[in-house]
Amino acid sequence: MSLSETDIQAIWLTLRLASVTTLLLLLVGTPLAWWLARTRSWLKQPVAAITALPLVLPPTVLGFYLLILLGPNGPVGSLMLDLGLDTLPFTFPGLVVASMIYSLPFMVQPLQNAFSAIGDRPLEVAATLRASALDRFLTVVIPLARPGFLTGIVLAFAHTVGEFGVILMIGGNIPGETHVLSVAIYDHVEALDYRNAHMLSAGLLAFSFLVILLLNLVNKRTHQGLGQ
Amino acid sequence: MNYLVVVALVCISQVAWAGSVTVAVAANFVTPARQIAEAFQQNSEHTVVISSGSTGKLFAQIEHGAPFDLFLAADSQRPRLLEQNGKAVSGSRFTYALGKIVLWSPRPGYVDEHGDILKKGSFKRLALASPRLAPYGLAAQQVMKKLGVWVGLQGRLVQGENIAQAFQFVISGNASLGFVALAQIRAAGSPGSVWQIPGELYQPIRQQAVLLQRGKNSAAANTFFHYLQSGEAREIIRNMGYEVVASGDQSHVAE
């Protein structure tokens, strides 16, 4: 019972992809979620709908459009070529971009719920104590929204680990670059190598179970009922 | 009165004879299979239901009791395994098509007639199907190995899960060129530039069919299985960009 070098490489690649994606989503998702939670603009509902799209869209649709959009004949791809950059499909940065889109709602929605639940009152109190906007965010919002952050981080990470359809469409199956865990399992099954497929699948099952268990335990302990 | 009896008898016999055959077809062969099924249904009361997927997936489904009567695979390995483990009727296996691969680019004049572009390597990405999963990918690997360019091109190869995906990588422009099936560019009617790869550069891609246990006693399954080997069916297969084994020459089946 030992994993092949390619499989170990796939596991590391998957963890790296999930970590980078989650970190970037935290940076992009926090202001977006904050805006969604506070704004009264008519744009709120359309933006919220776009954010939620990856929940409903089949990953193959996303992957298919990304392949066309990011390819050298697509608008984004040709722009990148004009700028002297490499196109994104079949590269690790390409997978990060795809994963960020794919896991966006899993980060934004728990955060948005957490931010909404805080309400105006704590922020107004902090403002009367002369806390600046940044100060209010760092010392009031973040601690109060902690369960939301935790839920967002864990879900975005786990969802990226399980990503398959999008990566299959734009990955090109390159070891160390785009050959992630879910694709490795798929390849093993297709090649009738059920032994290795079982090993990786069982590992992923255990991982998923632990993630959800942990999340539930932590959320129960904080008793906030925030997030999902 | 007699007339009515005849009509009734005909109706009953129709019910008794007309059946349906469910065929599991490798993804690359779906279009020809549909045409063959259409031609078959014109002269038969039986109906053909086609279920497509990759050979590996269909194989796994058949192993686990999927309700298929026939299996048209993209290789010979999977049908042979089914025969060995008793899921297929032994002795029924035959080669229904020989796949041909080509090196192709949608850009006219890009791929030369001798495949020299592989040695010059003036491209950024070359698409092929996964050699581990797809017979067409394995053939592409054999060609590159024979030409001595396999190692040198490693950094530029992108692999599709199957030959359809390799085709998609090329036609979307994400890869400048790729190894695809001749049948694909025929079906898509895509011009561009093509290197017709000589047969001695890769082992023949034998696409084999087997009669599965579920279809063994079905008249519909047996009739369609025989029709697949008819001149009419072979003509359709040839027109779609495959070669067929000379009638009665299935000697290689034992391989």
Q: What is the DSSP letter of B29?
A: G
Q: Is A192 on the interface with B (CB under 8 A)?
A: yes
Q: Do A191 and B57 touch (CB under 8 A)?
A: no
Q: What is the pLDDT of residue A228?
A: 42
Q: What is the pLDDT of residue B220?
A: 95
Count structural domains, chain B: 2
pLDDT in tens, A187-201: 888 777 889 999 999
Structure tokens at A189: 């099954």
CA distance A128 to A226: 26
Q: Is A56 on the interface with B (CB under 8 A)?
A: no
Q: Is A173 on the interface with B (CB under 8 A)?
A: yes
Q: What is the pLDDT of residue B250?
A: 65
Q: What is the pLDDT of residue A4?
A: 87
Interface test with B, best of A190, A192, A198, A201 (most B CBs within 10 A): A190
Domain assignment of residue B124, given as a range: 101-196
Radius of gyration over every alpha carbon of chain B, rounded to an integer in angstroms: 21
Closest by CA to B174, choosing from B123, B231, B242, B131, is B123
In this structure, the answer to whether residues B183 and B210 fall within a common structural domain is no
Q: Do B158 and A189 touch (CB under 8 A)?
A: no
Q: What is the pLDDT of residue B252?
A: 52
Say yes or no to pLDDT of B60 above 60: yes
* CB-count burial class (<10 Å; 0-12, 13-18, 19+) for B172: buried
In this structure, the answer to whether residues B20 and B49 fall within a common structural domain is yes
pLDDT in tens, A57-81: 998 899 889 988 998 889 999 999 9
Q: What is the pLDDT of residue A1?
A: 56
Average pLDDT for B109-126: 90
Interface test with B, best of A69, A73, A90, A189 (most B CBs within 10 A): A90
Strand order, beta sheet including B157-160? B157-160, B126-129, B177-181, B101-105, B193-196
Q: How large is the ipTM?
A: 0.72
Q: Which CATH architecture has domain A5-222?
A: Orthogonal Bundle (1.10)
Name residue B71's beta-bridge partners.
B24, B210
CA distance B81 to A69: 42
Q: Give the DSSP H/E element, type plus range, for residue B95.
A: strand B94-99
In this structure, the answer to whether residues B238 and B171 fall within a common structural domain is no
CA distance B161 to A171: 10
Radius of gyration over every alpha carbon of chain A, rounded to an integer in angstroms: 20
Q: Do B161 and A173 touch (CB under 8 A)?
A: yes
pLDDT in tens, A94-147: 999 999 999 999 999 999 999 999 988 888 888 888 888 888 888 889 999 998
What's the predicted TM-score (pTM) here? 0.78
Mean pLDDT of chain B: 88
Among left, alpha and beta (phi > 0; psi -120 to 50; other), residue B44 is beta
Partners of residue B173 in chain A, C-beta under 8 Å? 71-74, 77
In this structure, the answer to whether residues B123 and B165 fall within a common structural domain is yes
Is B201 a domain residue?
no
Higher per-residue confidence, B36 vs A1: B36
Q: What are phi and psi of B21, to 5 degrees?
A: -120, 130
In this structure, the answer to whether residues B87 and B127 fall within a common structural domain is no
Closest by CA to B172, choosing from A172, A183, A96, A97, is A172
Say yes or no to pLDDT of A226 above 50: no
CA distance A149 to B129: 41
* CATH number of the domain within which B161 lies: 3.40.190.10
Q: What are phi and psi of B71, to 5 degrees?
A: -135, 120
Is B247 a domain residue?
yes
Q: Is A3 on the interface with B (CB under 8 A)?
A: no
In this structure, the answer to whether residues B93 and B106 fall within a common structural domain is no
In this structure, the answer to whether residues B17 and B94 fall within a common structural domain is yes
pLDDT in tens, A156-180: 999 999 999 899 888 888 888 889 9
Is the C-alpha dihedral spanning B167, B170, B175, B176 positive or negative? Answer: positive
Q: Do A71 and B160 touch (CB under 8 A)?
A: no
CA distances from A216 to A26, A225, A227, B96 (A): 21, 11, 11, 56
pLDDT in tens, B146-163: 999 999 999 899 999 888
pLDDT in tens, A79-99: 999 998 888 998 999 999 999
Q: What is the pLDDT of residue B78?
A: 93
Who among B54, B125, B133 is closest to A90 (CB)?
B125
Is the C-alpha dihedral spanning B10, B12, B17, B23 positive or negative? Answer: positive
Q: Do A190 and B159 touch (CB under 8 A)?
A: no
A42 pLDDT band, cuts 50/70/90, is very high
Q: Angle CA(A112)–CA(A56)–CA(B61) in degrees, nearest 5?
A: 135
B251 pLDDT band, cuts 50/70/90, is low
B54 pLDDT band, cuts 50/70/90, is confident
Average pLDDT for A211-225: 77
Q: What is the pLDDT of residue A193?
A: 84
B8 pLDDT band, cuts 50/70/90, is low
Of B196, B226, B243, the one marking the end of a domain is B196
A168 Cα to chain B: minimum distance (Å): 8
A187 Cα to chain B: minimum distance (Å): 7
Closest by CA to A105, choosing from A42, A60, A67, A152, is A152
Q: Is A80 on the interface with B (CB under 8 A)?
A: no
pLDDT in tens, B185-244: 888 887 899 999 999 999 999 999 999 999 999 999 999 999 999 999 999 999 999 999
CA distances from B41 to B15, B16, B46, B234 (A): 16, 17, 6, 16
